[in-house]
Amino acid sequence: MAKPQLKQVSEYCWQIEPFGRMRVPGVIFADNILINDMDEKTLTQVCNVAALPGIVKASFAMPDAHMGYGFPIGGVAAFDPENGGVISGGGIGFDIACGVRTFHTGLSEEEIISVKEKLAESLFRDIPAGVGSTGNITLNTVQLDNMLAGGAAWAVEKGFGTKEDLDFIEEGGCAKGANPSKVSAQAKKRQQEQMGTLGSGNHYLEVQKVIDIYDTQIAEGFGLKKGDCLVSVHCGSRGLGHQIGTDYLKQMASQAASYGIDLPDRELASVPVNSPLGQDYLGAMRSGINCALANRQILTELVRRVFAKIFSTAQLNMLYDVSHNTAKMEEHKVDGKTKQLLIHRKGATRSFGPGSADLPPRYKSFGQPVLIGGSMGTSSYILAGTSESEALAFSSACHGAGRSMSRTAATKKWQGSQIVKELAERRIIIKSRSMRGLAEEAPDAYKNVSAVVEATANAGLAKKVAKLLPMICVKG
């Protein structure tokens, strides 16, 4: 494929006109620096997605976009099932419904600081994290199927959290249409002992403080003010999601050709949404979403128990839970017509604007909270979905900083112990079982999250509400 040519259409938006097999343009949201840093492989992936059947309007990339497999990470694409639209496992990724959940603590910075080391130790001890860790819950086959069908609602029924929590999770904490019978026995076996675990890599649990408020009215609506302390959890569907991804990638790659889909990249393996395999994958992938939601719900309860032991006044109420590796059927307007589209967001966050039916009543007039995780030791942000985001990119925004350097380069450049020391000097306690893991996740191995957030806000994809700084970080 020829080199994609970028044309600037506005200060924060670039376009690649369709060429070759592209059916629609590529649209990239970024500022001047971020666009220059995006490598050609990422742009080629944007173009490859634009070549998939049934794609609507454009193949989008968010400001944190970087090279993925098939889809770029930070990629958004809508497919029309009634017009041959496809579903692609690569457009969701192996870590199905990886996402961020943030909750309030009701505690002040001073209260946390007085017991910071003890709190960090307790979280590190009680929240299973890292490679090979297991949860305290082992599920049999029937229980696993119930969890896959019920999501966070299942976890609440089992005593993890409260019904009120569910109002603050996308789709009320349960992806409808999950079909656990389409999840392989291997995928289920991988999950048996992994409920309530954080995982590894870029997954984390952070205690954060609000250091800046950009929009007082929305912040108030979300229950946020400067100095508040929050907890954020970043993790996904664990072994189950990874195995679903593996199982269906293989099947889709071998069946794509039978539907006349000529794959520009094997990792883009896809089949029509309305094909038997497409429907099977939808049922399995939604089960994966529910697994991630149940997992984050269990982790929430584990965090609450840790806080309850240390603070008598802690109130860990939900702010929101949002997944950034998903495909969801959503209603969107295209050329004045309302259509049911399958929106793939691979490393991108949904950002519904004010008035959306999916929002809990408390947030209805403010827009959906968009939770942006920073890299270890850097800021995280809370944004709010905008009304214009729908027309721009099917109500989508960035998901995080996005890597700028490979893990191999990061371990050559930094040492874990040095990172712990540097963060300690900035009063951030970091807990990890692996020094090499820390080096791989070095803050400077990521793009500047603030620049990503600025570009997202300036492009109109979401509105800046609050900036958070970590106080304690437990690495997966």
DSSP code per residue over 457-470: HHTTSEEEEEEEEE
Shorter beta-carbon distance to other proteins: residue 333 or 412 = 412
Which residues on adjacent β-strands are paired with residue 382? 371, 466
* Least spacing, CB of residue 436 vs other proteins, in Å: 4
Element spanning 424, H or E: helix 416-425
* Least spacing, CB of residue 26 vs other proteins, in Å: 18
Tell me the C-alpha distance between 145 and 173, whole Å: 16
* Least spacing, CB of residue 75 vs other proteins, in Å: 12
Shorter beta-carbon distance to other proteins: residue 62 or 78 = 62
Q: How far is CA 189 from CA 239, 241, 245, in A?
A: 9, 12, 15
Shorter beta-carbon distance to other proteins: residue 114 or 134 = 134
Shorter beta-carbon distance to other proteins: residue 266 or 427 = 266
* Least spacing, CB of residue 141 vs other proteins, in Å: 15
Active site residue 66: no
Which residues on adjacent β-strands are paired with residue 467? 212, 381
* Least spacing, CB of residue 403 vs other proteins, in Å: 5
The overall longest dimension of the chain from CA atoms, in Å, is 63
Is 264 within 8 Å of 48 (Cβ atoms)?
yes
> CB pairs under 8 A, 24+ apart, for 217-223?
217/366, 218/366, 218/367, 218/384, 218/463, 218/465, 219/465, 219/466, 221/362, 221/363, 221/365, 221/366, 222/319, 222/320, 222/363, 222/366, 222/369, 222/382, 222/384, 222/465, 222/466, 223/104, 223/317, 223/319
Q: Pairing relation of β-strands 337-346 and 318-323?
A: unpaired
Q: Provide the binding-site residues for other proteins, judged by CB under 8 A.
A: 39, 41, 66-70, 73, 93-95, 130-134, 186, 189-190, 199-201, 239, 242-243, 245-246, 249-250, 253, 265-267, 269, 403-409, 433-437, 440
Shorter beta-carbon distance to other proteins: residue 323 or 404 = 404
Active site residues: 399
